[in-house]
Structure 1
């Protein structure tokens, strides 16, 4: 399903003016796991990765973003106002952001904005379900094929260690799968 376009909405200019801009340098955090987080983000340019770190310090990539795109909505990446993920810039990045409560107020007062935001959320949740299906239902080589179809060109953008983590296998397995394809 395609996210509705806001360009014709009467309130579009006012809505856009409520978004702020921010720049991140490569390596900078947009969010940190277990820290307060109440914003919504649109990646205008650059690349980000979201990850979860377990109690043993093992980090797992759960989202890869290349701008322009919407970062997974706040409701799907926080609990009780606390971030469940860390999001880090893998390149210099430009973002637009708005407080989630302000966006909710816009959604209540404007049907086009409500439709747009609900479309963004549906798209994000659909991508998450696709990844979960991939992890649960596909073997290694099939996962890599799925990744290449779902995220064309990302293999040339993100470190293979992040992609391997995102696909639920080790960097060694990723390297072997790539080598097997060449034979």
Structure 2
């Protein structure tokens, strides 16, 4: 993966700095860092841009990064033997993305991650990310808090998939993520909710009448 943070002009450097500032604002809202710590974090940052439909990760590759989205939207999904896509998650700005199983096990990923919109990210190689966690206690605490919340969110998603009706799943989805419906194709939302596009269309019409 190319190091997009290398500057070729002053104007390009300004654009990259602006992209990084979104990440910097995010971490400063969650923890306190000294100027030296902030500079240390930034020194490891890699700026990455994805065009719509461009892959961040493809099935079979080993995921090596901790990735934060500063703008845009990506989906994580698998493709079965029949060619059908199964969406595991969506991630938007101020969210993290990647395949943690592949990252921690250094095993080929079962997932694809691609951009639903033009997307910008801040990446850290996992080696550098762990180094920052060891060197900067407040950064480590922030990361642990994020991982705990991610685990809780995964538990809630599993519980919802097991207990809610199709209509309840949709209502729960738009309640938690009100902006997603206007940004993500309905076929992808249906796949995420575990229903056919036709079922989702019927539910949307029914709920619109209530």
Name the counterpart of 2:100: 75
Name the counterpart of 1:173: 199
State the alpha-carbon separation in 2 of the partners of residues 55 and 112 from structure 1.
Answer: 44
- Residue from 139, 164, 172 that aligns with 2:190: 164
Name the counterpart of 2:23: none
More displaced stretch, 85-94 vs 118-127? 118-127
Greater strand share, structure number? 1
Q: Is the 8 A contact 1:70 1:120 kept in 2?
A: no
Bigger Rg, which one: 2
Within-5 A mapping of 1:83-98: 83-98=109-124
Higher relative contact order (CA 8 A, sep 6+): 1
Name the counterpart of 2:160: 134
Count of residue correspondences: 180
**Secondary structure of 1:27's partner?**
coil
**Secondary structure of 2:195's partner?**
coil
Residues 1:147 and 2:162 aligned together = no
Residues 1:6 and 2:31 aligned together = yes
Name the counterpart of 2:13: none
Which 4+ residue blocks in structure 1 deviate beyond 3 angstroms? 76-79
Residues 1:56 and 2:67 aligned together = no
Q: Give CA-to-partner distance per residue, 1:66-123, whole Å, 9 cap, x none.
A: 2132225x43465434223111101111111011121112212221111111122122
Residues 1:29 and 2:55 aligned together = yes
| RMSD of equivalent CA atoms | 1.8
**Structure 1, unpaired ranges of 5+:** none
Structure 1 length-normalised TM: 0.90
State the alpha-carbon separation in 2 of the partners of residues 105 and 81 from structure 1.
Answer: 21
State the alpha-carbon separation in 1 of the partners of residues 31 and 96 from structure 2.
Answer: 14
**Structure 2, unpaired ranges of 5+:** 1-26
Name the counterpart of 2:8: none
More displaced stretch, 171-180 vs 98-107? 98-107
State the alpha-carbon separation in 2 of the partners of residues 113 and 101 from structure 1.
Answer: 15
State the alpha-carbon separation in 1 of the partners of residues 95 and 144 from structure 2.
Answer: 15
Greater helix share, structure number? 2
Q: Following TM superposition, by how much is the alpha carbon of 1:150 offset from its aligned partner in structure 2, in angstroms?
A: 1.4
Name the counterpart of 1:124: 150
Q: Following TM superposition, by how much is the alpha carbon of 1:35 offset from its aligned partner in structure 2, in angstroms?
A: 1.0
Residues 1:17 and 2:43 aligned together = yes
Identify if the C-alpha distance between structure 1 residues 76 and 149 changes in structure 2 by more than 3 Å, giving closer, same or farther.
Answer: farther
